[in-house]
Amino acid sequence: MQLVVQKYGGTSVGSPERIKSVAARIARARADGVDLVVVVSAMGHTTDELVCLAGKVSANPPHREMDMLLTAGERISMALLSMALHDAGVPAVSFTGSQTGIITDSSHRAARIKRILGDRVRAALGDKKVAIVAGFQGVSETREITTLGRGGSDTTAVALAAALGAVRCEIYTDVDGVFSADPRVVPEAVRLDRVPHALMAELAVLGAGVLHPRCVELAKSRGVELRVLGSLSDDAGTVIVPEGDVMEDFFVTAVTADKGKTLITVELERATAHAALWSVAAAAHLAVVAPAFAGGVVRFYADKDAEWKRLLGGLVTDGFAKRFTIDDGVAPVSVVGSRFAQDGGALLSVMEALGEAGIQVEQGVASPHAITVGVAAGRVDDAVRVLHKKMVGAVK
Ligand code: ADP
Ligand code: ASP
Ligand code: MG
């Protein structure tokens, strides 16, 4: 039988009723004659609540203990979904990341999957059971529990689909697919039927939280068919396709923003200090978005993470940097599409749209696939709306 990996996000399993409706969807898919591995996220805001709880007992919780804590969230939803399936007459069994044999490196909070053993999942499928796997977690070679980073359950799902040879990976979420902008910010945003890997990866990195960036890269490199679908509808969703599947007429695909990011400026002591900066960021697995360099000054967008202050402070103490600023008042807004490199037309439209709305532009960078600009944090949604209005669907 063909194997399908499905993943259900936090809102989709956010209440007992939602869990029962996911169980009913799984039962229907099984009745259609496929084997199923189901990856689940923690219910609703459980992970955020656990992060908040940790902050109440410690100003600087050890990363190892954070992973021990946060993995509990997915353990709750996997067990509840398995129970709901039993109740619906569907045999099922749940596994943690470690029971599944999701072997990662040892970087707590940002672990990378090295390989998946998957023997217990295969045995469960052999016994005609639905295998439910806790998302976002794994185990290191030294048997430490790890997590893949926030939103990482999507990557668990795609990695499992690759390791088990699934025919496709279906990511079920609280919207009906990938849209031309976050439909919660731009109600007139349209669902995109197909998005090429490269543009989806840009969108994900630049803040469209609907897919974890690493899952897009994995789907591309391992040839996994990836779909994004609504857990509350029967809509066709969005397929992430290889580049060759889209023709030249693609222009602006979507507008996105990332309010979770901050603008960091570092003034380096000398050009050779670049290595010191990027090695601390890489060692801590901290994402760096849209970096720009001018003389000894480096500016980039990064997650609001207390780790940055500590690391950059260390660079100043060690004589690599003169000073740095972390500006929470600016967030990146991006237009993602193709053929931006042909002329200044796309840049002109971005600047016109923002100028007409009186939105001032900070630190920006452009590539053939994306134009990113910083805007005042309070104007982010306005910027997304005006850019969407002016640019989306502008097929040239
Ligand atoms: P899940 O818990 O299912 O993983 P997420 O919250 O991680 O769900 O991702 C889904 C959310 O992503 C949507 O509710 C939507 O608000 C947001 N989103 C941001 N940009 C987009 C986009 N371009 N298309 C669809 N959803 C988007
Ligand atoms: N529960 C984790 C988070 O909230 C992982 C996920 O949802 O993918 O980040
Ligand atoms: Mg998600």
Q: What is the pLDDT of residues 64-115, one digit of tens each?
A: 999 999 999 999 999 999 999 999 999 999 999 999 999 999 999 999 999 9
pLDDT of residue 243: 77
The answer to whether 204 touches 211, Cβ cutoff 8 Å, is yes
pLDDT band at 396 (very low <50, low <70, confident <90, very high): very low
pLDDT of 120 strictly over 70: yes
pLDDT of 251 strictly over 90: no
> Measured in angstroms, how far is the CA atom of residue 106 from the centroid of ligand 2?
19
Query: What's the CA gap between 99 and 102, in Å, rounded?
Result: 8
Decide: 47 in ligand 2 pocket, CB within 6 A: yes
Closest-lying ligand 1 atom to the alpha carbon of residue 203:
23
Decide: 44 in ligand 2 pocket, CB within 6 A: no
Has residue 336 been placed in a domain?
no
- Residue 96 belongs to what domain range? 2-174
User: Parallel, antiparallel, or unpaired: how do β-strands 113-116 and 102-104 relate?
Assistant: antiparallel
Give the number of other Cβ atoms within 10 Å of residue 155's Cβ.
26
Query: What's the CA gap between 191 and 173, in Å, rounded?
Result: 14
Query: What's the CA gap between 389 and 305, in Å, rounded?
Result: 32
Q: Is the dihedral of CA 21, 225, 115, 283 positive or negative?
A: negative
- Give the residue among 380, 377, 370, 379 at the shortest CA–CA distance from 347: 370
Has residue 86 been placed in a domain?
yes
- Locate 110 and state its tokens: 């940002």
What percent of the chain has a predicted confidence (pLDDT) above 70? 97
Has residue 260 been placed in a domain?
no
Has residue 307 been placed in a domain?
no
pLDDT of 30 strictly over 80: yes
How many domains does one find in the chain?
1
Has residue 139 been placed in a domain?
yes
- Record the pTM: 0.94
Has residue 59 been placed in a domain?
yes
The answer to whether 2 touches 34, Cβ cutoff 8 Å, is yes
pLDDT band at 171 (very low <50, low <70, confident <90, very high): very high
- Locate 357 and state its tokens: 């709305």
- Give the residue among 299, 304, 292 at the shortest CA–CA distance from 259: 304
Has residue 292 been placed in a domain?
no
Decide: 174 in ligand 1 pocket, CB within 6 A: yes
> Measured in angstroms, how far is the CA atom of residue 135 from the centroid of ligand 2?
8
DSSP 360: P
Quick one: average pLDDT of 40-47? Answer: 98
> Measured in angstroms, how far is the CA atom of residue 314 from the centroid of ligand 3?
33
3 state DSSP class of 275: helix
Has residue 151 been placed in a domain?
yes
Decide: 75 in ligand 2 pocket, CB within 6 A: no
pLDDT of residue 246: 56
Query: What's the CA gap between 109 and 318, in Å, rounded?
Result: 26
3 state DSSP class of 241: strand
pLDDT, tens digit (0-9, with 9 covering 90-100), for 299-330? 999 999 888 999 999 999 999 999 999 999 99
Decide: 77 in ligand 2 pocket, CB within 6 A: no
> Measured in angstroms, how far is the CA atom of residue 43 from the centroid of ligand 3?
12
- Give the residue among 93, 75, 94, 174 at the shortest CA–CA distance from 129: 93
Decide: 182 in ligand 1 pocket, CB within 6 A: yes
CATH number where 34 lies: 3.40.1160.10
pLDDT band at 247 (very low <50, low <70, confident <90, very high): low
- Locate 206 and state its tokens: 């630049």
pLDDT of 210 strictly over 80: yes
